[in-house]
Amino acid sequence: MSDRSYSVSMTVNGEVVNANVSARTNLVDFLRQDLELTGSHVGCEHGVCGACTVRVDGRIMRGCLLLAVQADGQSVETIEGMAGDPLMTSLQDVFVEENALQCGFCTPAMLLTAHEFISRVVETGAYRPDRDAIRDTISGNYCRCTGYQSIVQAVERVLIQYETAPTKAPNGAPNPGSDR
Amino acid sequence: MKAYPFDYIRAESVDDVLSALDRYGTEARIIAGGQSLMPMLNFRLARPEVLIDINRLAELSGIEDRGDHIRVGALTRHVDVARSPIIARHVPVVAEAMTHVAHPAVRNRGTLGGSLCLADPAAELPACMVALGADLVVAGNNGRRTVPADAFFMGMFETAVDDGEMLIEVLLPKSGPGTRSAMDEVARRHGDYAIVGAAAVAEMDGPAFRDLRLVYFGVEDKPILARETAAALIGQSWSPALAEDLKSTLAQDLSPNDDSQASSAMRLHLADVLARRLLPRLADPDGPHPSRTENESVSR
């Protein structure tokens, strides 16, 4: 059994990254330890808690259930790379207003999950999800402060904002679905 | 925890995979979505010498209407199956099952073939394959062979895929005009593996059952076809009186596991509860029965 390293090249938050990684290094460890992008967190390391959520080629995934070597040639985005995205900015603002962060450990992943959910609703058109649908969506992300109530509240508020202005986001920002 | 060290091979074709399997034998593991294998590696429950990554094999992805059946490549992601209009229209039981499979981030990566090859006894998709009477196509160095779903799932985490073989695609029979299907499960948290679940595909003659494949999962070490229960229902129309006898018939079909999640008696009870939810839906699909597809779950 060897621990040889593999050369990879991927785009992380828009920048090309070249590195040598051990096959067993998972993506979230690579992002945190090698690239010092510590916004994605490591919780359970078996895909239950969701704290390690990142986007790979535009879709949210578990960073602990992917190998860094598998991301070779792909585009990886972390919470750090979402700064300035209008929908993400709205989510972050409303999470603060609703006190939906509490300790903050689950927050980056909650935000990425909510971002994909709302983008999808806006993209597929005019559905008014109820709170059960929001709960279903975030059920893959553990919050150990038991703050789900305020997280659901925050996601719902942003969703309503975006649904009522699906072609034009608040403050004249571009359509939240347009970057996908 | 971190995985034991292993080597990594990125396969570019089915032949690549087969020759690597040939070379490494049982020391190799194929990784598709990895949503179950990676936890096993991280927890050091699996210790392969080498991982063969099949994620770049585009030919193993996709959903295709082939006239009398639907072909789904083994590498097709759960999310793509869940959102496919072809699946929703022609294989609705799979579309319904997908709403119970894990969570968005896992569905984005996990694959149909991975779920089938893992053969977790509490997983939704193996049971759907048995209920549908699907065919599973396996490739090896001696060519391809087709295994009926009934023969594919052999036990806990055990399938008919031999050493040196890999699952390529599944062939799903299309839902005909008289075909109706339904599935449901009881789980502690939505998206978790079921304590007990069931998938049913029926041929109906108006309100009467002409043929019924009622398959339970999470009950024993593999999906179980409830033959006696189906036999008791064939030729009958659904009625509350019929429901009275279900539990004793189910007891002939099922020998439920007893574990820390649920006792055998509780599982039998839940099997009865699920039959009472699903069978009326087959008899009267327009009745007031809750059902969920991915779109419905965001539109409710």
3-state secondary structure B219-247: CCCCCEECHHHHHHHECCECCHHHHHCHH
Residue that is written with structure tokens 């052999």 in the block: B154
What would the two tokens of residue A73 be? 């040639």
Choose among A6, A66, A120: nearest Cβ to B34.
Answer: A66
Q: Residue A175: its pLDDT value, please?
A: 45
Judged on CB neighbours under 10 Å (0-12, 13-18, 19+), A155 is buried
Q: Do B5 and A137 touch (CB under 8 A)?
A: no
Q: Are B129 and B118 in contact (CB under 8 A)?
A: no
What would the two tokens of residue B103 be? 């969570």
Q: Does the pLDDT at position A176 exceed 80?
A: no
Q: Residue B289: its pLDDT value, please?
A: 62
Distance between A4 CA and the closest CA of chain B, angstroms? 7
Choose among B31, B49, B189: nearest Cβ to A1.
Answer: B49
pLDDT digits (tens, 9 = 90+) for B64-109: 999 999 999 999 999 999 999 999 999 999 999 999 999 999 999 9
pLDDT digits (tens, 9 = 90+) for B24-76: 999 999 999 999 999 999 999 999 999 999 999 999 999 999 999 999 999 99
Distance between B5 CA and the closest CA of chain A, angstroms? 5
Query: What residues in A contact B118, CB-CB < 8 Å?
Result: none
List the single residue in B with minimal CA-CA distance to A29.
B2
pLDDT digits (tens, 9 = 90+) for B175-185: 999 999 999 99
Q: Residue A169: its pLDDT value, please?
A: 47
Q: Are B152 and B160 in contact (CB under 8 A)?
A: yes
Query: What residues in A contact B53, CB-CB < 8 Å?
Result: 69-70
Burial of B243-272, coded b for 16+ CB within 10 Å and e otherwise, reads eeebbebbeebbebbeeebbeeeebbbbbb
d(CA A27, CA B104): 18
Q: Do A1 and B5 touch (CB under 8 A)?
A: yes
Confidence band of A168 (pLDDT split at 50, 70, 90) = very low
Q: Are A39 and A7 in contact (CB under 8 A)?
A: no
Of A112, A113, A95, residue with least CA distance to A104 = A95
Mean pLDDT of chain A: 90
Q: Residue A128: its pLDDT value, please?
A: 67
Q: Are B82 and B98 in contact (CB under 8 A)?
A: yes
Q: Do B3 and A24 touch (CB under 8 A)?
A: yes
pLDDT digits (tens, 9 = 90+) for B239-297: 888 888 899 999 999 999 999 999 999 999 999 999 999 999 998 888 776 554 444 44
Mean pLDDT of chain B: 94
Task: Give the CA angle between residues A15, B37, A115 to the nearest 5°.
Answer: 45
* Strand, helix or coil for residue B166: strand
pLDDT digits (tens, 9 = 90+) for B198-228: 999 999 998 899 999 999 999 999 999 999 9
Query: What residues in B contact A1, CB-CB < 8 Å?
Result: 4-7, 49
List the single residue in B with minimal CA-CA distance to A136.
B190
d(CA A7, CA A20): 4
* Strand, helix or coil for residue A145: coil
Is B79 an 8 Å CB contact of chain A? yes
Crossing angle of helices A107-124 and A131-138, in 10° steps, is 130
Q: Residue B284: its pLDDT value, please?
A: 85
Is B188 an 8 Å CB contact of chain A? no
pLDDT digits (tens, 9 = 90+) for A1-57: 567 899 999 999 999 999 999 999 999 999 999 999 999 999 999 999 999 999 999
Q: Residue A122: its pLDDT value, please?
A: 87
Q: Do B8 and A23 touch (CB under 8 A)?
A: yes
What would the two tokens of residue B265 be? 């008696």
In this structure, the dihedral spanned by the alpha carbons of residues B57, B58, B60 and B62, taken in order and rounded to 10 degrees, is 160
Q: Residue A1: its pLDDT value, please?
A: 56
pLDDT digits (tens, 9 = 90+) for B122-152: 999 999 999 999 999 999 999 999 999 999 9
Distance between A60 CA and the closest CA of chain B, angstroms? 5
Chain centroid to Cα B117, Å, comes to 10
Q: Residue A126: its pLDDT value, please?
A: 58
Is B227 an 8 Å CB contact of chain A? no
Q: Does the pLDDT at position A171 exceed 70?
A: no
For the segment B148-159, the average pLDDT, to the nearest whole number, is 97
Judged on CB neighbours under 10 Å (0-12, 13-18, 19+), A135 is middle
Crossing angle of helices B264-283 and B246-253, in 10° steps, is 120
Task: Give the CA angle between residues A102, A166, B107 to the nearest 5°.
Answer: 60
Q: Do B41 and A124 touch (CB under 8 A)?
A: no
Q: Are B289 and B281 in contact (CB under 8 A)?
A: yes
Q: Residue B298: its pLDDT value, please?
A: 39
Give backbone dihedrals phi and psi of A141, rounded to 5 degrees, phi first. Answer: -125, 115
Chain centroid to Cα B28, Å, comes to 24
The residue among B1, B35, B38 with the most chain A CBs within 10 A of its CB, best to mutate, is B38
Lay out the sheet containing B179-186: strands in order across.
B179-186, B196-205, B208-217, B224-225
DSSP A42: -
Q: Do A136 and B191 touch (CB under 8 A)?
A: yes
Report which secondary-structure segment, H or E, holds A10. strand A5-12
